[in-house]
A = this chain, B = another copy of it.
């Protein structure tokens, strides 16, 4: 009888898939063997031996065996969770039955892998009754092998309109006596198949944005206590594009993303964490541009904003629109155009400042931040204030909680975190909010 599993993660930044069996090579499991050795920032929070789309259909039986073998050999040392993806389709019972067979193969205690298998990923689910079929098969696997019911997690790929709607019903369905849907873990968007299911067409064949899908997935996760993860980002060379997507997702509450390479894993493990150094930005006619910190001032060196001083008057031109302003008006305009992106250290400072104020009986305080901004050689001092109350404090706690979750679940990343932030900042972040 195995130990009851403890699924400790509150956050998942990375969901990394690996083909399970390749034809025409010496060792068909070579890619699995390589991936399971990943450590540190290149190792994902969730590793997904992918016995579905990444593996050719005629190799999937061998793929299931490979998963069992490789995880039995090296799973104990892997720093993330391991969730193989098996085949499934809402419209095809033979695919679903094949999925059951592969799960039985992978989780068979005689293969020795099951202690390091944290759950399964089910693609192509349909409406909620289809999710229940997958849940039931996992219950059967657990029962067959004497595992505690619910101990294997279940994650689903949202790649149909049906599944998108099903996420709205989870609170009603989880906890019913005839299912074990409490095993649900990740809601993962799969935009390529979703595009097919929605029959969407773009001129270039590129993927639509699917912003509503991502919102609904994030909301579904929030409502049901699950974790949302965005789908693959195809253009592996485009690191900036991948970071932009992660940042846009984070603003919707979707803090995890699919990764196709260890390089993407590293980017996606680091990007949601607060930066090492804070910096100022300015809105330059529709584009957000980082100011250069030149020590004595934050400097705009682009050509989309011009500033000139004539006597007591300033002429500010942003993208062809000219404003004539006095000093106070200019300051106000620049406060509106600029923003500060706080570092981890800055965030911890603010949390501590608010905690002290709270202890002193204050419910709300103004957090100030000031800078000298220089544009075309003209300098002006600005200061922005933001009111913090309990709700602000709680909302700002999310990146800190993420950091703590990473720290407690990923000892293999402690060195990288210490290198990124310095030991002092790491300790302060771990202490805040306790």
Which positions in A face B, CB cutoff 8 Å? Answer: 11, 23-24, 53-56, 127, 160-162, 164-165, 168, 171, 190, 192-193, 195-206, 208-209, 211-212, 215-216, 218-223, 234, 237-238, 241, 247, 250-253, 255, 272, 275, 281, 285-287, 302-304, 319-322, 332, 336, 339-342, 347, 361, 363, 386-387, 389-392, 394-399, 401-402
Contacts of A196 in B (CB 8 A): 391, 394-395, 397-398
| B171 & A199 in contact (Cβ 8 Å cutoff) | no
A369 → B minimal CB distance (Å): 10
| A321 & B287 in contact (Cβ 8 Å cutoff) | yes
Contacts of A211 in B (CB 8 A): 212
Closest Cβ neighbor of A209 among chain B residues: B251
| A304 & B321 in contact (Cβ 8 Å cutoff) | yes
Q: A171: which of B165, B247, B389, B401 is its contact (CB, 8 Å)?
A: B165
- Separation of A320 and B318 alpha carbons in the complex (Å): 11
Copies in the complex: 3
Contacts of A394 in B (CB 8 A): 193, 196
- Separation of A198 and B250 alpha carbons in the complex (Å): 10
Task: Say yes or no: A193-B303 contact (C-beta < 8 A), given A127-B171, A199-B398, A286-B286.
Answer: no
| A201 & B162 in contact (Cβ 8 Å cutoff) | no
A389 → B minimal CB distance (Å): 6
Q: A208: which of B162, B165, B202, B251 is its contact (CB, 8 Å)?
A: B251
Q: A389: which of B53, B162, B204 is its contact (CB, 8 Å)?
A: B53
Task: Say yes or no: A252-B200 contact (C-beta < 8 A), given A205-B396, A391-B53.
Answer: yes
- Separation of A187 and B264 alpha carbons in the complex (Å): 40
- Separation of A397 and B199 alpha carbons in the complex (Å): 9
- Separation of A220 and B219 alpha carbons in the complex (Å): 16
- Separation of A405 and B241 alpha carbons in the complex (Å): 36
| B222 & A197 in contact (Cβ 8 Å cutoff) | yes
Contacts of A198 in B (CB 8 A): 218-219, 222, 252-253
Contacts of A205 in B (CB 8 A): 342, 347, 386, 395-396
Q: A251: which of B202, B238, B322 is its contact (CB, 8 Å)?
A: B202
- Separation of A82 and B278 alpha carbons in the complex (Å): 44
- Separation of A392 and B194 alpha carbons in the complex (Å): 11
| B303 & A320 in contact (Cβ 8 Å cutoff) | yes
A220 → B minimal CB distance (Å): 7
